[in-house]
Amino acid sequence: MEIEQFMNSSLLILIPLLPLLGFIINGIGFRHLPKNLAGVIGSATALGAFAISILAWNGFDGQPQLVKLFDWISIGQLNIAFSFQIDQLSLLMLMVVTGVGSLIHIYSVGYMSHDEGFGKFFAFLNLFLFFMLLLVMGSNYVIMFIGWEGVGLCSYLLIGFWNKVTNYNNAARKAFIMNRIGDLGFLLGIFMIIQTFGSVEYLDVFSKAANGSFSVNDSVIIIITALLFVGAMGKSAQIPLYTWLPDAMAGPTPVSALIHAATMVTAGIYMVIRSNVLYSLAPATLGVVGGIGLLTAVVAASIGLYQNDIKKVLAYSTVSQLGYMFLALGVGAYTSAMFHVMTHAFFKALLFLGAGSVIHAMSDEQDIRNMGGLRKHLPVTFWTFLIATLAISGIIPFAGFFSKDEILAHVFEHNKIMWGIGLVTSMMTAFYMFRLLFVTFFGKFRGTHEQEHHLHESPASMTIPLVILAVLSAVGGLMNIPHALHGGESLEHFMAPLFELSKQVNPDLFEGHMEHSTEYILMGVSVGAAVLSILFAYNLFISRNTVPAADKDVTGFAKVLQNKYYVDELYEAVFVNPMRKLSNLLYSFGEFLIDVVVNGAGRLVQISAGRMRLLQSGETGFYVFAMVIGIVVILAWNFLLK
C-alpha cells in the first residue's frame, strides 16, 4: 500500500517535472541539438505529462490527494509548503493543459520548422507547461502564484519571441506589466488570506471559511475575493486589464493557441472555481465578477466585428469568451464556467491553429482582405476551421452549443436583462466568426501572385492536431449533456464534490430549477439567433461578395470599433505619458529640491552645533578622517602596549 502510494505520488511529481526537464535540455542545448531532436524532446515531455495525467485520472478515488515535496518558506507559525493537490478540478485542468498542450507542441514541429530559434521555442513552450502545471496542481495559493507569474514570464518570452521587432517587444512588455498589476491584487489577497486564516493551504482555508464564523457577504471575505479577482482580471484579460491580449498576438501562432486561448488565460477562471467557497460567501463580489464578465464579453465581441487581422479577430473573440466564463461564475454556475473553459480550449485552440495554417500557407499574411477562396487550397484547414466556427457560434450539436447554452440558461434564471445582453453577444460572435470564415475561405483569392503560387496545405504534423481538435470540438459537448436533452450531466456530477462546502455556506446561490420547456425555448432562441447572424453574414459576404473596406474608408461608429474604442490611446494619455512626465519631473526637479532642502537642514544643524566655520570651509571630511585615524592609532597603541 505504501509502495503503491509512493509510486503514485512520485508519478504525480513527474507531470510538471517532465516539461521542466525538456526545458532544461532544450534550453541548455538549443544551439547544439539538431532541430528534429529538439522537437521530439519538447513534444515527448508534453505527451509524457499527458500520459501520466491519464494515469492519475484513472487512479483518482474521489478524495483530494496531497503530495508534499518540502517546506518552501517557513516564517514563525506560517509554513508554505511546496505541495500538490490532486482533485476533480486539477485533474480536469491537467487533461486540458497537457492534452491540448501536447497537440500544440506537435503542431509547432511543423509550424516552426523554418525558424532559427526552433530549439529555444520548444524550451519556452516546455517551461510554460511546467509553470501552468504548477498553477493547477499547487495545493496552496502561493504555489498557484508561482505558476501564475511563471506563465506570465513565458507569455512575455514567447510574445517577444522574434525580438528584433520593436513592436513585438513592446507587446510582450505590455503583457507582463498589465499582468503584474493584477498580480499585485492577487498578492495582497494572499496576505489577507494569511492574516484571516493563518494558512494558505486550500483545504485549511476553505474549511475555516465554512466553519460558520463568516456570514454571507462578510466584508473580509468580500475584500479577499475582490483582490483575488483583480489578479484574475489581469491574467484572464478582463476590463480594464484586457488590452494586452490582442497585442499578444505578436507571438508565434501556436503560442496564441496554447497560452493566449486554451490555457493560461483561463487561469483566472480556475482561480475563482478553486476559491468557490470564498466566492459563494461573497455574492457581492460575484455580482462584480458577473458584471465585468458580461461587459467584457459584449465590448470585445463588438470590437471583433470590424477587425481584419485574422488573429486579432480571434483574440477579441477570446477576450469575449473569457467574459462569458466570468459571467457564468458571477451567477454561481461554476460547473458551466469550467465546461466552457474546456470546450473553448478545444475550439479556440483549433481556430488559432487553423489561422496558423492559413498564415503559414499565405507566407505570413494576416489580413483577411488579402485572402479569399482558400478552401480549395487548404481543405483540411477549411473543414476543421468550419467545425470550430460552428462550435463557437453555438450551433447544435457542436461543443460550444452545450457549454454556452448552459451559461445562458443559468444567467436567465438570475437576471433576464443580463441574459438578453449575453444573447446579443452570442449573435455578434456568430457574425464575426462567419465573417472571418467567409472572407478567408470563400470568394476569389485576393493576394499576390507569388502568394497564390505558394499556397499549400500544411504538413501532417500540423493537420493531425487540427483533426483531433475538430473531433473534440464536435463531440466535446457530450461531457455534460443536460437532463432536458436526456443527458447524464456527467461533468456536473464529477465536479459536485468541489462545491459541497459552497452549498453549505450559501445554499441560496444554488437554488432555482428550470422547467424543461423553458430550457427548450432558450435553446431554440439562442440557436435561432445564431443562425440569423450566420444568414446575415452569408448574405453580406457570400451573396453580395463584400470585402471588408480598406481602413481609410471606414467611418462613423465602425471606425470607433475598428480602433477598439481608442482604449489604448486612452491608457497612453491617462497613465503612460503622465507617468513618463512625472518620472522626468521628479528626476530633474524633485531631486534638486531635496538637495536644497536636505542641505539646508543639514546646514541648520551645523549652525546650531556651532561648527559652521569648519564645515563651510569644506574641511569636514578631513576633520573626521583625522578622528578616525586617531581612533585607529589609539587602538593600535592599546594593542602594542598590552
Please report, as ranges, the residues that interact with another protein according to CB under 8 A.
31, 70-76, 78, 142, 145-146, 149-150, 153, 156, 160, 163-166, 169-170, 173, 176-177, 180-181, 183-184, 187-188, 191, 194-195, 579-580, 582-584, 586-587, 590-591, 594-595, 597-598, 602, 618, 620-621, 624-625, 628, 631-632, 634-635, 638-639, 642
3-state SS string for 568-637: HHHHHHHHHHHHHHHHHHHHHHHHHHHHHHHHHHHHHHHHHCCCHHHHHCCCHHHHHHHHHHHHHHHHHH
Contacts 24+ apart (CB under 8 A), 503-506: 503/280, 504/210, 505/209, 505/210, 505/214, 505/216, 505/277, 505/280, 505/281, 506/216, 506/280, 506/281, 506/283
Nearer to another protein, 212 or 618 (CB): 618
Minimum CB separation from another protein for residue 33, in Å?
14
Minimum CB separation from another protein for residue 19, in Å?
15
d(CA 227, CA 183): 9
Q: For the chain, first and last CA: distance in Å?
A: 72
Nearer to another protein, 188 or 514 (CB): 188
582-593 in b/e form (b: 16+ CB < 10 A) is eeeeeeeeeeee
d(CA 629, CA 637): 12
Minimum CB separation from another protein for residue 134, in Å?
9
- Sequence-distant (≥ 6) Cβ neighbours of residue 106 within 8 angstroms: 43, 461, 464, 465
Could you count the other beta carbons within 10 Å of the beta carbon of residue 174?
Answer: 21
Nearer to another protein, 521 or 596 (CB): 596
Minimum CB separation from another protein for residue 76, in Å?
5
245-269 in b/e form (b: 16+ CB < 10 A) is bbbbbbbbbbbbbbbbbbbbbbbbb
Q: Which parts of 70-165 fold into alpha helices (H)?
A: 88-111, 118-137, 141-159
**Composition of the chain by helix, strand, coil, percent to 5:** 75, 5, 20
Minimum CB separation from another protein for residue 351, in Å?
30
Minimum CB separation from another protein for residue 596, in Å?
10
Nearer to another protein, 460 or 597 (CB): 597
String of DSSP letters for 231-257 = HHHHHTT-TTS-THHHHGGGS-HHHHH
Nearer to another protein, 26 or 307 (CB): 26
Nearer to another protein, 512 or 630 (CB): 630
Nearer to another protein, 221 or 418 (CB): 221
Nearer to another protein, 73 or 460 (CB): 73
Nearer to another protein, 220 or 471 (CB): 220
Minimum CB separation from another protein for residue 452, in Å?
32
Q: Which neighbouring-strand residues pair with 84?
A: 67, 138
Helices 379-393, 399-414: inter-axial angle, 10-degree rounding: 20
Q: Tally the C-alpha atoms within 13 A of residue 623's C-alpha that lie toward its C-beta.
A: 9
Look up cell 452549443; give the residue.
401
Minimum CB separation from another protein for residue 31, in Å?
7
Nearer to another protein, 68 or 454 (CB): 68
Minimum CB separation from another protein for residue 190, in Å?
8
d(CA 301, CA 428): 6
Minimum CB separation from another protein for residue 228, in Å?
15
Nearer to another protein, 74 or 211 (CB): 74
Amino acid in position 147: G
Nearer to another protein, 101 or 138 (CB): 138
Look up cell 514570464; give the residue.
153
DSSP state of 80: E
Minimum CB separation from another protein for residue 572, in Å?
14
CB–CB of 452/554 below 8 Å? no
Minimum CB separation from another protein for residue 591, in Å?
6
CB–CB of 340/403 below 8 Å? yes
Nearer to another protein, 19 or 290 (CB): 19
Minimum CB separation from another protein for residue 459, in Å?
29
For 275, the 3-state DSSP assignment is coil
Peptide bond into 240 cis (omega under 30): yes
Grid cell locating 197: 486564516
